Structure 1
Amino acid sequence: MTRTIRWLLDVLAVLVLTVGAALAVHGAVPGVRVAATALLVLFLPGYAVSVALFPRAHDPDADPSVGRSMVERLGASTALSLGLVAFVALAVNFTPYGITRTSILGGVVALTLAFALAGFVRRAMLDPDERYAPTFPVSALMFTNDHSWGADSHTTTYNLAVGLSLVLVVGSAGFAAWHGPSTAQYTEFSVVKGDQTVAEAAVLDDGEPLEVRLENHEGESQEYTAVVVAQRVSEGSDGAVQVRGQRVLATETLSAGDGETASETFQVSPPSGDDIEVAVLLYRGAPPSTPSRETAYRVLTLEVA
């Protein structure tokens, strides 16, 4: 295979494997998911970084051991990958998305593709003879070359990149250990019946006021909206409740600081019928134009007596 084609192969492989691995992570085959995750955590991001940082073949003043250069890239890819993944995890922690599989996967895939494309552009701008073209001869695995790694101008840059990656990995571990697992953030939501609070299976008697109470454990002050709806329901073939129609009875806003409680009393008159339920839908902030159980942050359901 000519050098004209070889300089494209690893870039194309990184692009294809990254997209394929990102799709496979959400697949149904456990073994494939593990392999795809390993590629995205341990290899592809780091190799893409090396493609972007080092578009040239070896320094012409150094011993032209192209095979050894490939080994350098493969060896550094793991450390660079771990560093890039650690950087993404730290970065998304300070975004509204937080540290989730989707946010980290999206960040890693985006940066991997960006570095690979940057490497492609940088190689394309070089003279054909200067472009790095991957090859992996068997002799590259034999450490018999007397040439010292320190003599190669690439080695210092690699050492710096790998060192920075290790610092990011250690720093991420220290950050996680220092802050520890974040305390679960939630809001308690219940119906007040006399001197008791009921979170489920409550009954609304005819003419009885509907009092709801919430307790904010979100870590900061929150604005809530409670929407009371009368719903006509039926039981689906799978036993799940299906809403066939609804009418909004009342809407109120509530505010509570972290650790504080708030309550609201509604005077509602739902229609009667065995298939009627009253649902209280709690939203953080404003509700959508069509409130539903699926979009609500918390849901309370009451049978109508």
Structure 2
Amino acid sequence: MHPDGRDSPVLHTLYFSFIVNRPFPDLVAVLAWLACAVASIYIPVINETPLRVILALPLVLFIPGYALIAALFPGQEELDLIERIALSFGLSIAVVPLIGLGLNYTPWGIRLDPIVISLSVFTLAMTMIAQWRRAVTDPEERYRFPSREIIAGVSEEFFPREGSRTDKILSIILLISIVAAIGTTIFVIVFPKEGEKFTEFYILGAKRKAADYPDRMTIGEEYPMYIGIGNHEYRNISYTVEIHHMNMETDITGNFSYITRMEISDRFSVQVPNNETVILPYNLSAKDEGFNRIEFLLFNESVPDMSIRGMERINQSYRDLHLWVKIRG
């Protein structure tokens, strides 16, 4: 209420849009799909089933664009159903990358939670604006989703009242073919063919970039960096990371190098889910002046015994990285 006793214009608008005019069925369906998609992403049992992909895919490819089109064009004569559907796909494909681009410049980054929250807020806001704009549009001109006309048209197309028996049989075969094609498409999306299996293993500098690696180290000082592991093995894996200090010498002929000393300085395990990347902060430190190389070894499920050392241990690792350093006392 205003101080003078009058109703707030905002409250009056909300009352008029959502109480006097009940929510429109297609907008209710958008919000219901949004709620189901978010639930399928975060509910522990459901998020491991194909239902997550089936519900979340339209949230990226169709729902945001449909809500935006509904907010921009509340009238019946502005766009027909086919145009709305086509523009919904197109605008979704345009809006979602823009939201991701904006998240890239925020502290949250492009991760699952910020993306889900951003898409949910955008869709909810556009749906409320669409509800309000339709409510203030003349009832004879506002857009209404032609659900009854679609059902009647499909029924008449596939099950005509007038027609020969052959036409009815062909219509049934066509309907079965369409359902089979849709089911095949969903199956391919939910259960994609496994591609090449690999693991990303990399180290980043203090600014989380592939630069500014420490090459001169002082004993007792810590040098911040990051260790990244990307799992693309189509299964959850518990990796083991080892950091070794080494001293390598080159043969007088220059044809080969050999390890004169190798000591492990750190070892830890990291659980990385399938198709996810973990970036861990790590403080690198020097042990003594007898080393000139820092070796990073990554092992998957099989980790060799500590009795295996030197080049043999490096060769048995799943991935390996190294830094050449000069250590000062």
Q: Smaller-chain TM-score range?
A: 0.3 to 0.5
Q: Which has the higher contact order (CA 8 A, sep 6+)?
A: 1
**TM-score, scaled relative to structure 1:** 0.43
